[in-house]
């Protein structure tokens, strides 16, 4: 099993992958916060992404969860805007 970790403020990214006979597996976690987007009216307050994947013998099982908050609290604005999105995707591909 291999584990790689990268830390660049405000970004944290961790990955792990391995193999057990014919089954491969991997997981990833990414976290960001307070990212400014000057061309948008809102900035990213935080984003959390969890990803799991298990490919093997022409098939793949995966899961992805994202929690994402954007608002305009990092800038001066007369009106508060906010988008708080959460998404879960689970799937499988291949011949099974």
At which residue do the structure tokens 């490919």 appear? 55
Distance CA 28, CA 80 (A): 33
Instruction: Give all strands of the β-sheet with 2-8 in edge-to-edge order.
Output: 2-8, 11-20, 23-35, 43-56, 59-71, 82-93
- pLDDT tens column, 6-62: 444 456 777 777 877 777 888 999 999 998 888 889 999 999 999 998 887 788 899
> Over 50: is that where the pLDDT of 3 sits?
no
pTM score, whole prediction: 0.71
Residue 45: the pLDDT is: 92
């Amino acid at each position: 099993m291999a584990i790689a970790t990268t830390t660049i403020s405000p970004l944290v990214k961790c990955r792990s992958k391995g193999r057990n006979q014919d089954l491969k597996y991997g997981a990833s976690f990414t976290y960001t916060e307070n990212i400014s987007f000057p061309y948008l009216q809102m900035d990213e307050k935080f984003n959390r992404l969890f990803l799991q994947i298990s490919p093997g013998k022409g098939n793949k099982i995966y899961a992805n969860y994202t929690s994402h908050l954007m608002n305009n609290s990092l800038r001066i604005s007369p009106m508060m805007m906010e988008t708080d999105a959460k998404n879960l995707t689970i799937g499988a591909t291949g011949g099974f």
